[in-house]
Amino acid sequence: MYGQEKGGSGERFKTGIGGLDTMLYGGIPVDNQVILAGGPGSGKTLMSFEICYNSAKAGIPAVFLALEEEPNTVIKNAKSAFPDFKDIDDLIAKKLLYIDGEGSSNKLQQESDSSKYIFGNMVADIEGILSDYNAKCLVIDSISLIKLMLGDELSYRRSMISLVSNLRRLNVTSFLTVEMPSAERKDLKFTPEFYIFDGIITMYQTGQEDKRTLAIEVVKMRGTNHSWVLSPYEIESNGFKVFTIEE
Ligand SMILES: Nc1ncnc2c1ncn2[C@@H]1O[C@H](COP(=O)(O)OP(=O)(O)OP(=O)(O)O)[C@@H](O)[C@H]1O
Ligand SMILES: [Mg+2]
């Protein structure tokens, strides 16, 4: 069964991604705030889009805030990567899927003191959108700009703690993408968000000459047991496929 369901180990939000829910022993504990970290081109945007799409398809309204790309570009790229997702426009029309972010993105770039926006208005904007759509799934793609704008680690850490506690208050399962400086697992660095968020999922590219391999790992997920195995994944026309030994 798909969607939000109560199980022996607590209520779960299913990502709907084959293999990933298996790695999570049934899905993300509902209302967890999750970081999706990866190197350039590892598939952060497409995976977080698919999670929203799957949620919307299951009748759980989902909001995707694109802070670094035009929302229309996100939709265009998703349609190109996932030609089998033929009902994207239909789900948008039905208000089950909402893709935006230009407002937040412009404010982030214009605000002279962007930390004020992050602490105050951004959360208010998100709260407004979530309540308009009755959304239970939120993606922010990505928070790397916030990190750069805040500059020092203390301001960033404070604003992330504030963001996480506000999102928890809004009763939403969230996925926030973060760029990792390296696509390789051996270079993984534990930056502040690794401690603040409920869950960390990392996506790596291991390049071997002309063949690249993509692999995903659940580094932590509060409220559930999970796979510790680095599992390969592929992007197919009908969505991500994660190949896990748990299956
Ligand atoms: N039509 C497609 N079919 C298969 N793979 C695709 C397709 N379109 C994109 N991809 C793969 O997905 C990758 C881009 O995915 P995505 O934009 O989600 O990555 P990202 O991690 O968000 O990147 P960035 O760091 O630039 O934000 C491409 O590099 C490519 O490997
Ligand atoms: Mg991206």
Q: Is the CB of 40 under 6 A from ligand 1?
A: yes
Which residue has the least CA distance to atom 31 on ligand 1? 41
Which has more pLDDT, 207 or 55?
55
Ligand nearest to the CA of 49: 1
Percent of the chain exceeding pLDDT 90 equals: 61
- For residue 62, what are its two tokens? 């989902």
Cis preceding-peptide flag for 105 (omega within 30 of 0):
no
**Nearest CA owner, ligand 1 atom 9:** 81
Protein residue whose Cα sits closest to atom 13 of ligand 1 = 41
Is the Cβ–Cβ distance between 179 and 173 less than 8 Å?
no
118 pLDDT above the threshold of 70? no
pLDDT digits (tens, 9 = 90+) for 224-240: 999 999 999 999 999 99
Reported as a single tens digit per residue, the pLDDT across 177-212 is 999 877 777 777 777 788 899 999 999 987 776 788
Residue 6 pLDDT class (50, 70, 90 cuts)? very low
145 band by pLDDT with thresholds 50, 70 and 90: confident
> Average of pLDDT values for 214-223?
95
pTM recorded for the entire structure: 0.92
Contact 35, 23 (CB under 8 A): no
User: Model confidence over 19-49: pLDDT tens digits?
Assistant: 999 999 999 999 999 999 998 889 999 999 9
Alpha-carbon gap, residue 36 to 57, rounded angstroms: 21
Q: How many CB atoms lie within 10 A of CB 202?
A: 21
Of the two residues 137 and 2, the one the predictor is more confident about is 137
Q: Regarding the domain delimited by 4-242, which CATH topology (the fold level of the hierarchy) does it fall under? A: Rossmann fold (3.40.50)
Phi, psi of 204 (to 5 degrees): -120, 155
